[in-house]
Amino acid sequence: MVNNILPLAFFLILLILIITEKVNRSIMASFLAILLVFFGTINFEEAVKTIDFNTIGLLVGMMISVSIAAKTGIFQFLAIKMLKISGGRPIRLIIYLCILTAFLSAFLDNVTTVLLITPITIYITKLLKISAFPFIISIIFFSNIGGTATLIGDPPNIIIGSEARLSFNQFLIYNGPIVLINIFLSLLVIFLMFKKKLRHKIIEKNIIKEIKEESLIRDRVLLVKVLFVLFFVLLGFLTHNITHIENSIIALSGAFLILLLTTKEPDHTYKEIEWATIFFFIALFVIVGAIEKTGFLKLISEKLVDLTQGNLELTTMAILFFVGILSGFIDNIPITVVFVEIIKKMSLTLGDVSPLWWALSLGACFGGNMTLIGASANIVAADIYNKNDDNDEKINYSNFLKYGFLINLLSLLTSAIYLKFIFFKTF
């Protein structure tokens, strides 16, 4: 009896601690997962089997590649290029940075994107003597929107893709169009929200001309090598349906080829891998695996099917909005891990559950924009911004929600219409 209650109790404890940010989520999740094995709730062999090594391998591979790419200065180069193209007009600059962030987030993970773009944005706004607040808030939103488009763009998609056997191309085909729609609509919302703050700020163009973006490329030879390998990594993702090579193998092959071509001592690169994130994923897989063992997830899936009377369209919408709202208050990664297992159980009753996977993806990724704790990228970017002493306005839970609620609601409503159109063809 205790062994049946323990996994769910530990999961709820973890969620509460994530929301309150009382302890490091990676340390706590790992500790609770180890306790489950220690108490015999799940044995060691079962725990290892619950870990999705395809997800872990894909994350590690992309982290290594992006870490080395960042050393070339290419991301700083792109940000300054955006500044010059904007012609010193903050409204244009915020739009261009949003588009750049969305694009990068589709091919990097969104945490990596904000780690690269946020410091550069703060540097630009300080240089131009304008508030960084609207820029950072907007970058956070578009990191989550852009990350929704691809398999590797957002951690929930990596998990879903691995468990549902969905390819890189399928994410582009199914999520790409709604992401483009939401980029356009969200840009309009950003313009309306921040136009009063930025409209009358015209920057001295001589300041912009003095910045030499070419000097930001620190190692051209390294850049060529990295781009060469990443081209074939992307090609590998795109041809997965033909080659059937796992995405983790493609990502890791590219990562270690870059290491082989660029460095003899990889120790520094290994240190830059976000090991806290990796251990958090591993621990979550074990905890959710232990919950699944109790039969609780099967019960939830049956209740959800009963509630929607087995109607696939109603179930799709229920998952989209439930996950989309819940992901705003609880980090979208644990929510995704749980719902992946719920959908797998529902497939036994409903048969083809394809729409449910895309509802989960859109709900989890877009839902991360609702609150400050909705996605890891939100917290990372806000922390970097808030550490600057000269900010005129800090990013906190309440002012983030003020803007995030509207962006999230817009994304979920457009996603509902989109899913209805492509899967159910009725209005």
* Average pLDDT rounded to a whole number, residues 386-411: 83
71 in Cβ contact with 218 (< 8 Å): yes
- pLDDT bracket for residue 3 (50, 70, 90): low
How many angstroms separate the first and last alpha carbons of the chain?
A: 47
Claim to verify: residue 167 and residue 229 sit in the same structural domain: no
Rounded Cα distance between 390 and 411, Å, is: 33
Higher pLDDT, 225 or 332: 225
Claim to verify: residue 146 and residue 200 sit in the same structural domain: yes
- Asked whether residue 175 is domain-assigned, the answer is yes
Q: Mean pLDDT in the chain?
A: 85
Q: What confidence score (pLDDT) does residue 208 get?
A: 65
- Asked whether residue 372 is domain-assigned, the answer is yes
Claim to verify: residue 113 and residue 208 sit in the same structural domain: yes
What is the number of domains present in the chain? 2
- pLDDT bracket for residue 205 (50, 70, 90): low
- Asked whether residue 2 is domain-assigned, the answer is no
* Average pLDDT rounded to a whole number, residues 278-294: 85
369 in Cβ contact with 408 (< 8 Å): yes
Rounded Cα distance between 290 and 42, Å, is: 6
* Average pLDDT rounded to a whole number, residues 205-214: 67
**Of the residues 273, 289, 319, the one at which a domain ends:** 273
| Six-digit token string for 316 | 């799709």
Cα-Cα-Cα-Cα torsion 108, 282, 162, 112, nearest 10 degrees, comes to -10
- pLDDT bracket for residue 145 (50, 70, 90): very high
- Asked whether residue 15 is domain-assigned, the answer is no
Claim to verify: residue 62 and residue 164 sit in the same structural domain: no
* Average pLDDT rounded to a whole number, residues 153-177: 90
Claim to verify: residue 260 and residue 279 sit in the same structural domain: no
* Average pLDDT rounded to a whole number, residues 65-92: 81
* Average pLDDT rounded to a whole number, residues 387-392: 68
Amino acid sitting at position 359:
A
pLDDT surpassing 80 at residue 22: no
- Asked whether residue 182 is domain-assigned, the answer is yes
**Of the residues 273, 289, 310, the one at which a domain ends:** 273
Q: What confidence score (pLDDT) does residue 200 get?
A: 56
**Residue 24 belongs to what domain range?**
20-50+73-217+274-424
Share of the chain above pLDDT 70, in %: 94
286 in Cβ contact with 51 (< 8 Å): yes
Claim to verify: residue 61 and residue 77 sit in the same structural domain: no
- Asked whether residue 301 is domain-assigned, the answer is yes
- Asked whether residue 5 is domain-assigned, the answer is no
* Average pLDDT rounded to a whole number, residues 224-245: 85
Q: What confidence score (pLDDT) does residue 186 get?
A: 95
pLDDT surpassing 70 at residue 427: no
pLDDT surpassing 80 at residue 339: yes
* Average pLDDT rounded to a whole number, residues 178-185: 96
Angle between helices 133-147 and 397-419 (to 10 degrees): 30
Rounded Cα distance between 301 and 153, Å, is: 27
Amino acid sitting at position 115:
L
Amino acid sitting at position 109:
D
Determine which of 189-193, 273-277, 367-371, 390-394 has the lowest per-residue pLDDT on average: 390-394
Q: What confidence score (pLDDT) does residue 209 get?
A: 67
Rounded Cα distance between 262 and 258, Å, is: 6
Claim to verify: residue 110 and residue 186 sit in the same structural domain: yes
Claim to verify: residue 129 and residue 257 sit in the same structural domain: no
pLDDT surpassing 60 at residue 1: no
* Average pLDDT rounded to a whole number, residues 229-254: 85
Share of the chain above pLDDT 90, in %: 29
Claim to verify: residue 374 and residue 414 sit in the same structural domain: yes
Claim to verify: residue 85 and residue 167 sit in the same structural domain: yes
- pLDDT bracket for residue 206 (50, 70, 90): low
pLDDT surpassing 70 at residue 256: yes
pLDDT surpassing 90 at residue 373: no
Instruction: Give one word for 371, left, alpha or beta, with left for phi > 0 and alpha for psi -120 to 50.
Output: beta
pTM, full prediction: 0.78
Q: What confidence score (pLDDT) does residue 408 get?
A: 94
| Six-digit token string for 143 | 């990191």
- pLDDT bracket for residue 407 (50, 70, 90): very high
**Of the residues 273, 303, 319, the one at which a domain ends:** 273
Which residue bears the tokens 């609509």? 185
- Asked whether residue 134 is domain-assigned, the answer is yes
HEC sequence for the chain: CHHHHHHHHHHHHHHHHHHHCCCCHHHHHHHHHHHHHHCCCCCHHHHHHHCCHHHHHHHHHHHHHHHHHHCCCHHHHHHHHHHHHHCCCHHHHHHHHHHHHHHHHHHCCHHHHHHHHHHHHHHHHHHHCCCCHHHHHHHHHHHHHHHCCCCCCCHHHHHHHHHHCCCHHHHHHHHHHHHHHHHHHHHHHHHHHHHHHHCCCCCCHHHHHHCCHHHHCCCHHHHHHHHHHHHHHHHHHHCHHHHCCCHHHHHHHHHHHHHHHHCCCCHHHHHCCCHHHHHHHHHHHHHHHHHHHHCHHHHHHHHHHHHCCCCHHHHHHHHHHHHHHHHHHCCHHHHHHHHHHHHHHHHHHHCCCHHHHHHHHHHHHHHCCCCCCCCHHHHHHHHHHHCCCCCCCCCCHHHHHHHHHHHHHHHHHHHHHHHHHHHHCCC
Rounded Cα distance between 416 and 361, Å, is: 12
pLDDT surpassing 90 at residue 194: no
Q: What confidence score (pLDDT) does residue 101 get?
A: 92
Q: What confidence score (pLDDT) does residue 71 get?
A: 85
Claim to verify: residue 338 and residue 287 sit in the same structural domain: yes
Claim to verify: residue 155 and residue 190 sit in the same structural domain: yes
Amino acid sitting at position 250:
I
| Six-digit token string for 373 | 């704790």
pLDDT surpassing 70 at residue 30: yes
- pLDDT bracket for residue 334 (50, 70, 90): confident
- pLDDT bracket for residue 324 (50, 70, 90): very high
